[in-house]
Structure 1
Amino acid sequence: MTGQHHLHAHRHLHDRHRAVLPDWLSLYYDEPIEITHGEGRHVWDAEGNRYLDFFGGILTTMTAHALPEVTKAVTEQAGRVIHTSTLYLDRPMVDLAERIAALSGIRDARVFFTTSGTEANDTALLLATAYRRSNQVLAMRNSYHGRSFSAVSVTGNRSWTTTGLSGLHTLYVHGAVRRRGPFAHLPDAEFTAACVADLEDLIGHTGDVAALIAEPIQGVGGFTSPPDGLYAAFREVLDRHGILWISDEVQTGWGRTGDHFWGWQAHAASGPPDILTFAKGIGNGMSVGGVVARAEVMNCLTANSISTFGGSPVTMAAALANLSYLLEHDLQGNARRVGGLLAERLRAVAAGVDRVREVRGRGLMIGVELADPATGAADPDAAAAVLEAARAEGLLIGKGGGHDTSVLRVAPPLSLTVAEAEEGAALLERALRVLR
């Protein structure tokens, strides 16, 4: 097929997409791409262009594209039985639940599998409100927890909060965004103290609260995070009031942050959360999500409940193989080492670009915030331009942030090599030249 025919077929697919899918289902790029295959840390589009993938389908291709161990596990399980449901014993589900329970740090843990992070957070909210007999929830400003009716109602990021109508009464707390907001000028210890005082005051003005839900590092919010220990300080307040802590580990779990296996461990003085939610990377692209909670919380539901697709034998087999690969190859350690190198390179690149306000993150979860150098105002147009330029250079990245979407999100598969980190930094450096 000639290049012209490729372009015509590509535009035809885009037209078909717009004709049959929702207007709010956004696509990256002025000329959206169709990814047809991948291998390792690279993917190819329908026109044959090769890209270094620094986004992994929104932090989901966690280990590598076309990982043989995962492909083999999926194929072999699909050849035996694809689906049974939670009404029958499911050996892969029990195997994975045992491993996750042991890794979670939660005592007497129970695990419930879902098909997505949204569904996992929805389940966590159901458990917390039922256990506490309260519909009041605390959430963090600038947060994102999914697209379901309950999840958007605890999402503090205006770009993703599609409705204010909800059965939940949500109050938003300061602390998750370190460099903006009323406490941004304070040193870390004073910042934490001010956020704790805000939390105390907020709880004092409301009735019984079910839970605080928080991402240890905000994903969609632009890879922002509080000082280490903030959630430990919050936990002291929560415990005094009997309020549960839900740690949303959909993007921070499985060692992506390098320093820790779970994001909550940066606040480890508090011990593990009451409820932990996960998804994305564990399935390496298969639809796996879930909730871990101590038995008394997980077992508090008094009505029947099942999951038709959660815990599917095929997705469980994929997740088991993926988790085994991750642990056996110390991908957490690789995220720490190679992520540290990548962040260092990106800071060096950013030093010469006045529109880069901050390079932040942990492990292979790095945000590059763009802003007007004169006013400090977020610059979403600059982020959009760099996203396009990076694609033209052969690099796929994401973007996020507050309502202004001005942060470039860099989150490669955890098997990223040093050479690929160097290459990606060089490609992003070239892409950033559109801002000069």
Structure 2
Amino acid sequence: MKENTFLLIGPFRQLITMADLPDKGALTDDLLQPVIEAGILMEDEKIYKVGIFSELIKEAQTLHAAIIQLNEDVVAIPGFIDAHTHICFAGSRANDYAMRNAGKSYLEIAAAGGGIWDTVQHTRKASMEELAALTLQHANRHLQEGITTIEVKSGYGLSAAAELKILKAIKKAAEQTPADLIPTCLAAHILPKDYNGTHEDYLQEISHQLFPMIIEEQLTTRIDAFIEEGAFAAEQITPYFTKAKELGFHLTVHADQFHPSGSAVAVQFAAVSADHLEASGEKEIQLLAKSNVVPIALPGASIGLGVAFAPARRLLDAGASLAIASDWNPGSAPMGDLLTQAAILGTFEKLSNAEVLAGITYRAANALQCSDRGKIQQGLLADFIVFPTNNYQEILYQQGRLKPTQVWKRGKLINDYLNPSSTENNRAYFASSRLSGNYSSNNNSLIQP
């Protein structure tokens, strides 16, 4: 006998689906159109139907669906997507932070033994298993905050062997967390200090040695490069990206962080995204707006470095898309709190709730070419999160203080990964092979078919 695979949950005081919104350009909050007293009917890991909870009950009963009836003020929105992180690393750069706040420059910090190279040394020393455990720890912290899909870069190995180890660690971590980890190879991060050749020699070595191993072991389909003074120049990256494209990789670029330097390359190679953009000028903004490249703002790096934010408002007004990511890394963006950073970016760049939420849901999904998520919509993955409020505006208004009390990933409730303090009043655990834990809330009720 086939196991019942349908589950209905609701009513949500508001349900923000993010459905039918444009992929590019400015958004106003009236476009969100919350569904009131809504329900989500799931089949296995996908959304079967969305609508008014009371109207879905009859269909759910016909399907012999289990029904979770919520008797409290809650809002549901799509699971967050962090499209740019560096969470596979070892070591700490707390001393860099102190030196930076004391007025030391990047070069002075590097000369004192800090900077990216410090993280490279710690990461090289760590075993693959140790890196996988650290990545898993970071991913599950993200999961606690409602981030159900996480892009994870390599880039702290800076040799073919070390980069391969990092990508294997990301793969191992991905097998142990409910979150989806999207790996990216960032071997073109900086020229390693212990490399004796030129930038061109290093990139050629990586493309000839590492790329075939990545393909053979199916470790990633994505290649990134840091185009910036002190990292790699556009003309150095051109043959590297050309080789990557020939092999079928999708490209993304660390662009325009300190100087207008990489967005033109992103457009030239039809990259899926151009990330950072703090130094993008009008020329770069217009170039990105006329392309299909998704600009990704990284407010965590601006906060960590004390520099200006990416010109998010101008990008949107020019007709570009905009994703927002945490850039969680040990150096410039150690906070890793996507919701807080996105809310702060919205404050400084005068973004609507719709623009910020789009940036951490479906537009972030577009940046990762994950068309099966980012919206609460029929046929897409049942990735959504639930907040203890009756007004979706509270989510960004509270700038990260309001935490999700339910996280649903691929149709499964994964509250076992949440901070117990955040779920004290709403532990929606449900005894089923589809869900983690036990359903035992005083406020909510489970109706078996």
Compute the TM-score of the two structures, normalised by the length of structure 1: 0.30
Q: Which has the larger helix fraction? A: 1
TM-score in terms of structure 2 length: 0.30
